[in-house]
Structures are given as C-alpha cells and as structure tokens.
Amino acid sequence: METRLSDLIEDLNDGFCSIRIDGDLIYANQSAKKLLKISDDSSINIFTDVIRNKALTQSIKREIEKSKGLKDIECDLYDYENKKFPVILTVNSIKDIDDSIVGMALLFKDMSALKEMHNQLLQAQKMESIGMLASGIAHEFNNLLSGILPNAELIKMTIEDGSANFSRADAIHKSAQRAGNIVKQLLSFARHDHIDDDVSLNLNRAVSETLEIMSKLFGKEIIVKNKLPINLPLIKIDPTRIQQIIMNLAINARDALEGSGTITFSAKPVTIDIRNGNGLSAGQYVMLSVEDNGKGISRENIEKIFDPFFTTKEPGKGTGLGLSTIYGIIKNLQGDIKVFSDENKGTRFDLYFPESHSKETKNEKVDDISTNKKNKTILIVDDERVIREMAKDMLSYIGYKTICESSALNAITRFKKEKNKIDLVIIDLIMPKMNGVNCYHEIRKISKNVPVIITSGVGEANKRSDMLQMGAAEYLQKPYDVKTFSEIFDKIFSEN
C-alpha cells in the first residue's frame, strides 16, 4: 500500500514536496523537480529559495502550528534559475506516530498556461473595445475628409500652378492626405480596412526588397541580417501590407538599438494544431521573426505596445500607430503576433502568416481606358450634403452628368422614373431609414444591369468582397479622389 501511494505521488502532474519545519527540502516528485528546475542533489529551502514571501511563510507556519494547513492559495514560486511562475498552493502538516508535527507536505499546480490564456483573453477583449472606438473615430474622420480632400484637389485643378492660392490649396490637400493616412492606420488596427487576401506572396522576396529600400535608414554601426530561407511557402497578404509591416518593425528595431547593434530577420514554416494553437486556427503558417539586441521593452510597457497612439518615443518622433497597425493587419489575416523582450538584452517579434497554396501573384499593367463621359449620367445617393456636393463636383469635372438624392427612398423613386437615363448609381452604405444594401436590392428589382458602386466611411475587412459578391460593380472606401473616381468609372463603363 505504501509503495502504491509513493508511486502515485511520484507520477502526479502537479508538484509535490515534503519539507522539514524550517523549510529544507526532503523530497520532490518528478513534476516538482521539473517546475523548480532541480535535481536529486539540489539543496534548497522552500521558504527562502522558492516561496520568497515572508508574509506567506509566516502564515504557513502559523496555520501548521494550529494543525490546520492552507488550501488553494494563489501565489508565485521561484525556480532554481530565479524565474517566477504562478501556482495554486496547498500545504498540510506531516506528523509522526506521536502526533507531533515534523514537517510539511506541499502540493502546487502550475498556473502559467492558464494565466497566459487569461491574459490573452483580456488583451483580446481590450483590443476589440479599442478597435470599435478606433473604427467609429475613423468613420467620422473619413466623412470630414471626404469633403476636404477632393475639394482641395478640385481647387488645385482650376487655378494656376505656382500662384499663392495654388500653394494654399496644395497645403490643404497634403494635410488632408496625411490625415487620411492616419485614418487608414486606425482602420488597419481595428481590422476594418480592406485587405486583398487573394494575393499569394513570396516572403523572402518581400523582405529582401523592403530592406534594400530601407538600407540608407540604418547607420553604419547597425548590422541587418536576412536569414530567410529561399524555399519558404507563399503567404496570403497584400504586398503593400507586408512592406508596411517590415518597415515598421525594422524602424522600431533600429530605434531600440540606439546607434549600434544587430537586427535579424528569419522565418520558417510552422504547423499549428489544436494543442499548440494559442488562439490560431489549426493549419500551416509561415513564422517571420524580427529580432534585435537593443534596449528591450519594460514589463510595464509590453502589454501596451499594440494600443493605438502608445509610444515611448519623444514627441514628434512617432505616432504610436505602427505596432497597432501591424496588429490589425495580422489579425485580419487570421494570423497572430507575439512579442518577447528582456530589458537591456533585446526584443523579438514573431508573426504568423497563413500559408497560401496558390501560385505567386504577379503585378499586371492595366492599359489606360477612354470613354465618352459626356453621355453618362450618375445617380449619387448620400445623406451627407457635403459629400453629395463633393461627388457631384468631382464627376462634373471629369465630364459626367449627375443627379443627387439625400436618401435611399428618394433615390429609388427617382430611379424608377428616370432609369433609362441613369447609367450608374453610387450608394452610401450607412444611411438612416434605409441602408445602402437594401437600397441596392431595390434598385436591382428595377434594373438588373445598371452598375452600382457602394461607398462607405466605415471600413470593414470583408465588406468589399461581400459587396462584390452581392453584385456591386465596386466598393469604395471614403475619402476618394478625382483620379480614383476617373479610373474606376472608366473601368466599369468599358466592361459594360
């Protein structure tokens, strides 16, 4: 019986130790040795070397003296390498045949994995909440920029280049473009921007080309190593997105090096299954690692680095949107990003990209298309007056005739009456009373052939593919410019 009990204790998944009254270790089972990183020859005191908490030690001794013990105490223990880990601890007394207390028995369950899962859940919930807020802010800014950006562009087109007013209009236009870029970054973080996930990309080529472009940004004392293997599987990501990711991580690493050090890019195929997924779906991935031997990230900051606008850089040297943008892009791709850092030793980012089984996508040149724009009439449907007038001015400048309606219901009535003279319909996605999708379906009941473009100031990752699958000719993210309008209309009318 005693042998069977000993075998059961030895085979426990949880750590078990017996100690003397003063805390000196007498026995540890295999799980305890593994968790504490000790051997049979190790000489340690559980109180001073493992628990390291005077208040908890005193509480244990006090309760043991009362023959009560402690049960399910949440605390931290330290292993032989001085690393802390969370446990659930239970302590009971060990008595001799005279009922005298001669030692203690400790049972402890490692909670590291559970705590990590809990932290990941809290982080995901926090990022989702911030993402919703960021998306709402981006929507409002997009509507404002939709009235500023194109109008500044139109003013530039109608006044003499080099004049004072042209310079003023150009300054407005460039400022609005910069604001638009910030909105795009917010939408990337919120996972509400459009990403072309039909693109299959060679990661090795993307890293090599981007690092070549950035070569002048690194000082002579910074060594950049590209250790990506040649035969990596292709990944699903838009080329502009992967370039954005590589550049942001490289610049962050450069800044962390403070003038000298090494940045290493490496990658390998990985298989994620149910056991090691940590939130990723089971499947094949390519893991890109970007590592530096710089100053590292403090423990208090590491949980904030993906928050929008969080930065440790000096004012004017960073927007705080770089890592949050990367986070949004990766999550949008159903991938993941992890960070590991030791202060004064360095930082490593591991990015997981879903593997693509399609052939590599090559860029194709699209020829210019010219159409007879004067014979085309566009119905513009948007509840925002500024955006309606802006779209009307843009289309008129390009050479189209326009009809404007402020609601879906008015647009449907107008289309019924004038369907034979309307060549294309532009519908805002979010409008009161009837939204853009329902308006689209009502238009389709009247005409199955008229091209319909859906526009929106709220970006959603899968919205473009949803709208195209529904039958829309195109989905446009606000704010848009004259050039974009012209190219899209030319393309649609040439196909129809």
User: pLDDT tens digit string along 118-130?
Assistant: 766 666 666 666 6
Q: Please list the residue range(s) of the chain that carry CATH number 1.10.287.130.
A: 115-189
Band the pLDDT of 290: cuts 50, 70, 90. Answer: very high
Q: Can you tell me the mean pLDDT for 435-458?
A: 91
Q: Angle at Cα 406 formed by Cα 402 and Cα 412, nearest 5°?
A: 80
Long-range Cβ contact pairs of 73-82 (< 8 A, separation 24 or more) = 74/111, 75/51, 77/35, 77/36, 77/50, 77/51, 77/108, 78/49, 78/50, 78/51, 78/52, 79/35, 79/36, 79/37, 79/38, 79/50, 80/36, 80/37, 80/38, 80/42, 80/44, 80/49, 81/37
Which fold is adopted by the domain 200-354?
Heat Shock Protein 90 (3.30.565)
Higher pLDDT, 253 or 213: 253
Higher-confidence position of 361 and 248: 248
Residues of the chain with CATH 3.30.565.10: 200-354
The dotted CATH code for 115-189 is 1.10.287.130
Taking a C-beta distance cutoff of 8 angstroms, is the pair 268, 287 a contact? Answer: yes
- Of the pLDDT bands very low, low, confident and very high (cuts 50, 70, 90), residue 22 is very high
The pLDDT-based confidence of 367 (bands split at 50, 70, 90) is very low
Region(s) of the chain under CATH 3.40.50.2300: 373-495
State the pLDDT at residue 98: 85
Condensed to tens digits (0 to 9), the pLDDT of residues 130-163 reads: 666 666 677 677 777 777 877 787 888 778 777 8
Q: In the structure encoding, which two tokens stand for residue 59, read together?
A: 């509480």
Q: What is 373-495's CATH number? A: 3.40.50.2300
In the chain, % of residues over pLDDT 70: 83
Specify the range with the lowest mean pLDDT, choosing from 83-87, 249-253, 388-392, 477-481: 477-481
Highest mean pLDDT among 1-5, 358-362, 393-397, 480-484: 393-397
Query: Is the model's pLDDT at 355 over the cut of 70?
Result: yes
Cα gap 400→486, rounded to integer Å: 10
Q: What DSSP letter does each residue of 83-129 carry, written as one string?
A: -EEEEEEEEEEEE-TTS-EEEEEEEEEE-HHHHHHHHHHHHHHHHHH
- Specify the higher pLDDT residue, 298 or 187: 298
Q: What is the mean pLDDT of the chain?
A: 82
Q: What is the pLDDT of residue 315?
A: 52
Q: What is the mean pLDDT of residues 46-61?
A: 92
CATH of domain 2-110: 3.30.450.20
pLDDT for the residue numbered 493: 87
The lowest-confidence range among 124-133, 168-177, 183-192 is 183-192
